[in-house]
């Protein structure tokens, strides 16, 4: 991965610039930092790769990453963040379990003079130096447009589209839902909102078994991540339903491989290792007392069966690493 130190003056996606507090002279030099990372969970392969990317970037910069897994527990996450504050880390990266529940931790970090960077999932309220992520609404819309285009090419009208959702109330879930719905608006197709499967394949398998019985006339399944979409695909194959199209989000390499038969029609790239890399670079800038963009967009792209070869996908997730930070 690329290691970068300064930001492009006109970084795309940065909507405003927040000043972060100047820290000690040692922190200002940003050498050998101790950076805390409070992660929502490691139950998703995406978050495992996000952790790996952050660890690799921290090691490459000579920094120490103190990683703590909240395991989906809001109380544990707040306790973990307090632990990081007590350890005197130079910056804290947070992937929140709940966008509102970490407010006390944000206040505590601010009082301690420690900049906070959120990753993947933003928070609502509270002071953060920056959010590093991707435009999930755009991702959902890209996939939705691909679904509409494929149905049109196949001459299918009035299709029933099953949507398997992520986590209830999550900002990522809402954006991927809203973007997809916007793309299908006025298309004549009908979206049936399925249950929240928490981005976990096994949950999607169970959900899809029930959804298939209740919606035998479905034409498309859209899931808020590829792991759930692949779970749905498994159920469809087991029931001989090769007439149903599948679409997801995140660019899981397995999803790209599944496009060979033309039934898995779209995903939007969300390289988690690169996201972790960029987040460490932003955390180092904030720890050095520099100004950082309020939003750093790590970028995405649509993958359809005819574009699979354009993106390396030997790792767990397909690689997509546009230059968002200057060298």
| pTM of structure | 0.82
Stretch 213-222: mean pLDDT: 98
For residue 311 the two structure tokens come to 């993106």
Question: Looking at the predicted structure, is the pLDDT value of residue 6 above 80?
Answer: no
Q: What is the pLDDT of residues 39-59, one digit of tens each?
A: 999 988 899 999 999 999 999
The band of 282, judged by pLDDT with boundaries at 50, 70 and 90, is: very high
The band of 26, judged by pLDDT with boundaries at 50, 70 and 90, is: very low
Q: Give phi and psi for 111, each to the nearest 5.
A: -65, -30
Q: What is the DSSP letter of 252?
A: B
pLDDT of residue 236: 98
Query: Cα 250 to the chain's mean position, in Å?
Result: 7
Q: Give phi and psi for 213, each to the nearest 5.
A: -65, -40
Q: What is the DSSP letter of 216?
A: T
CB 294 within 8 A of CB 259: no
The band of 171, judged by pLDDT with boundaries at 50, 70 and 90, is: confident
The band of 327, judged by pLDDT with boundaries at 50, 70 and 90, is: low
């Amino acid at each position: 991965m690329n290691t970068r130190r300064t930001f492009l003056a006109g970084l795309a996606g940065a909507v405003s610039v927040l000043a972060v507090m100047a820290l000690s002279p040692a922190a200002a030099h940003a050498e050998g930092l101790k950076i805390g990372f409070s992660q929502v969970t490691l139950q998703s392969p995406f978050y495992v790769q996000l952790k790996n990317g952050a660890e690799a970037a921290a090691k490459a910069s000579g920094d120490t990453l103190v990683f703590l897994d909240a395991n989906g527990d809001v109380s544990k996450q707040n306790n973990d963040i307090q632990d990081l504050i007590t350890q005197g880390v130079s910056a804290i990266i947070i992937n929140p379990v709940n966008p509102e529940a970490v407010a006390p931790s944000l206040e505590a970090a601010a009082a301690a003079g420690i900049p906070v960077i959120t990753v993947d999932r933003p928070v609502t309220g509270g002071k953060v130096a920056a959010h590093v992520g991707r435009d999930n609404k755009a991702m959902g819309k890209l996939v939705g447009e691909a679904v509409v285009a494929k149905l049109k090419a196949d001459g299918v009208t009035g299709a029933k589209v099953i949507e398997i959702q992520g986590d209830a109330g999550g900002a990522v879930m809402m954006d991927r839902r809203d973007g997809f719905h916007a793309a299908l608006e006025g298309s004549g197709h009908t979206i049936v909102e399925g249950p929240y499967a928490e981005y976990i394949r096994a949950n999607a398998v169970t959900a899809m078994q029930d959804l298939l019985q209740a919606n035998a006339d479905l034409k498309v399944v859209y899931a808020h991540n590829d792991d759930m979409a692949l779970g749905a695909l498994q159920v469809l194959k087991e029931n001989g339903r090769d007439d149903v199209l599948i679409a997801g989000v995140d660019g899981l390499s397995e999803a790209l491989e599944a496009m060979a038969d033309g039934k898995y029609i779209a995903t939007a790239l969300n390289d988690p290792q690169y996201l972790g890399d960029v987040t460490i670079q932003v955390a180092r800038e904030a720890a050095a007392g520099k100004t950082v963009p309020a939003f750093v967009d790590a970028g995405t792209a649509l993958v359809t069966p005819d574009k699979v070869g354009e993106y390396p996908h030997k790792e767990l997730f397909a690689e997509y690493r546009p230059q968002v930070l200057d060298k």
